[in-house]
């Protein structure tokens, strides 16, 4: 599929400003988004004559903090309103927004609605004897909780759109809400590690997939902590690598390329990229692009090694289906194209028609400092 860098730059700008999702907002929020959309962001003034370079740099940057704040506050508001009707719930935000790897000014926020009247625990944990056994089961508890929330949301947000078609989350948007929110019925799972440490990141959650139906164990706070810790160790480079991949994926999909590779799995894959290279990206941001290309290209050409990689919390391998691996390969193609064009901008004498190796292309960009 043909790639138009000027179109991608425009899509990137609109996505970051939230203009691409005006239809999911109330009138007041739409006006607010549009009033801010004309403001120029810092990345838009960098590399003014080098469109591919400017796109790569912009795709790495975090969404403006004001957009993120509103997303979090909206999710908290939804939780507070639900809690007035169900007082046995507590709420936690999971996913890309709290991790600051979201790429949209208007992002769906994942809100865990945790039933504190029920939990499961690992029977081998040091505190197992302190828990009270129950005949209730997760599937029934979560199904009942979901039914209750589905009834409550239209009552407390009568002007909002409530979509109950999803298997794992109830989506609510519009009305008085400034941002879309996905409410995920869930309960706690006290692992062995959590029983030992009592640290939030060691505590699991159980969610419901009503379409099967079945329950699923997740470890969202461990994922957040591991990504945060590794990103901090490489001075922000990991988050930039993840955002870069997600933006390139979003634009490729809009142009008609199929990329079945979730945001979670993108983050998990970049977690295994070379930390030293990402750290160097603190000074030379294009080094991050070069490392993303190298890492994906390696996984592309070494499928057996790729299939050994686990998600950060260790709960499964990343490429547990052929579709995910093919999605990674499709993303790798997109990153290859971006690196090729950025390298041409930085070293105009390079010509890929003569088969310049990828290592040469990476070398052409990985020590370039772009004024910012």
pLDDT of residue 356: 77
The secondary structure of residue 63, as a DSSP letter, is P
Least confident range from 21-35, 68-82, 160-174, 285-299: namely 21-35
pLDDT in tens, 197-226: 999 999 999 999 999 999 999 999 999 999
Q: In terms of Cα–Cα distance, which of 224, 305, 211 is closest to 264?
A: 224
Average pLDDT, the chain: 96
Express as a percent the part of the chain with pLDDT over 70: 99
Concatenating the DSSP letter of every residue in 217-267 gives EE-HHHHHHHHHHHHHHTTTHHHHHHHHHHHHHHHHHHTT------HHHHH
Mean pLDDT of 116-139: 96
Instruction: Report cis status (omega within 30 of 0) of the bond before 213.
Output: yes
Find the helix packing angle between 263-270 and 220-233, rounded to 10°. 40
CB 38 within 8 A of CB 32: no
Handedness of CA 257, 258, 264, 266 (dihedral sign): negative
pLDDT at 1 over 60: no
Q: What is the mean pLDDT of residues 315-341?
A: 97
Residue ranges of E strands in 155-210 = 160-163, 170-174, 181-190, 204-209
pLDDT for 116 beyond 90: yes
Vertex 130 angle, CA 127 and 133, to 5°: 115
Q: Helix axis angle, 51-60 relative to 322-346, nearest 10°? A: 130
Local confidence band at 353 (pLDDT 50, 70, 90 cut-offs): low
| pLDDT over 70 (residue 83) | yes
pLDDT bucket at 349, cuts 50 / 70 / 90: confident
Which residues make Cβ contacts (< 8 Å) with residue 328, sequence separation at least 6?
261, 265, 269, 296, 299, 300, 306, 319
Q: What percent of the chain has pLDDT over 90?
A: 93
Q: Which pLDDT score is estimated for 270? A: 98
Q: Do residues 180 and 173 lie in contact, with contact meaning Cβ atoms separated by under 8 Å?
A: yes
Check pLDDT > 90 for residue 358. Answer: no
Provide the sign of the torsion angle of the four alpha carbons 34, 35, 38, 41, taken in this order.
Answer: negative
The enclosing H or E element of 258 equals none
Angle (CA) 127-132-138 rounded to 5° is 100
Predicted structure pTM score: 0.96
Q: Is residue 209 helix, strand or coil?
A: strand
């Amino acid at each position: 599929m043909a790639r138009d860098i000027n179109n991608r730059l425009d899509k990137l700008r609109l996505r970051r400003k939230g203009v691409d999702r005006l239809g999911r907002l109330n009138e007041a929020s739409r006006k607010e988004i549009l009033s801010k959309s004309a403001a120029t962001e810092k990345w838009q003034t960098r590399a003014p004559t080098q469109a591919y370079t400017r796109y790569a740099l912009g795709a790495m940057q975090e969404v403006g903090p004001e957009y993120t704040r509103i997303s979090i506050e909206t999710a908290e508001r939804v939780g507070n309103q639900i809690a007035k009707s169900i007082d046995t719930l507590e709420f936690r935000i999971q996913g890309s927004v709290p991790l600051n790897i979201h790429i949209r000014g208007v992002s769906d926020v994942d809100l865990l609605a945790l039933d504190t009247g029920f939990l499961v625990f690992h029977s081998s944990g040091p505190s197992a004897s302190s828990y009270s056994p129950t005949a209730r089961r997760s599937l029934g508890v979560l199904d009942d909780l979901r039914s209750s929330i589905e009834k409550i949301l239209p009552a407390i947000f009568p002007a909002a759109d409530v979509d109950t078609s999803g298997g794992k989350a109830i989506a609510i948007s519009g009305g008085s809400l400034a941002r879309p929110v996905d409410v995920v019925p869930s309960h706690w799972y006290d692992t062995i590690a959590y029983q030992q440490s009592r640290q939030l990141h060691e505590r699991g959650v159980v969610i419901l997939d009503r379409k099967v139906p079945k329950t699923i164990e997740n470890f969202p706070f461990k994922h957040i902590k591991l990504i945060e810790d590794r990103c901090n160790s490489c001075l922000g480079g990991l988050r930039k690598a993840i955002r870069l991949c997600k933006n390139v994926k979003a634009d490729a999909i809009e142009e008609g390329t199929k990329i079945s590779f979730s945001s979670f799995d993108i983050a998990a894959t970049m977690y295994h990229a070379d930390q030293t290279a990402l750290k160097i990206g603190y000074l030379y941001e294009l080094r991050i692009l070069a490392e993303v290309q190298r890492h994906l290209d390696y996984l592309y050409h070494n499928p057996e090694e790729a299939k050994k990689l686990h998600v950060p919390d260790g709960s499964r391998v990343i490429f547990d289906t052929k579709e995910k691996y093919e999605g990674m390969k499709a993303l790798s193609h997109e990153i290859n194209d971006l690196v090729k064009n950025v390298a041409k901008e930085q070293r105009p004498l390079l010509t890929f028609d003569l088969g310049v190796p990828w290592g040469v292309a990476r070398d052409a960009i990985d020590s370039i400092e772009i004024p910012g």
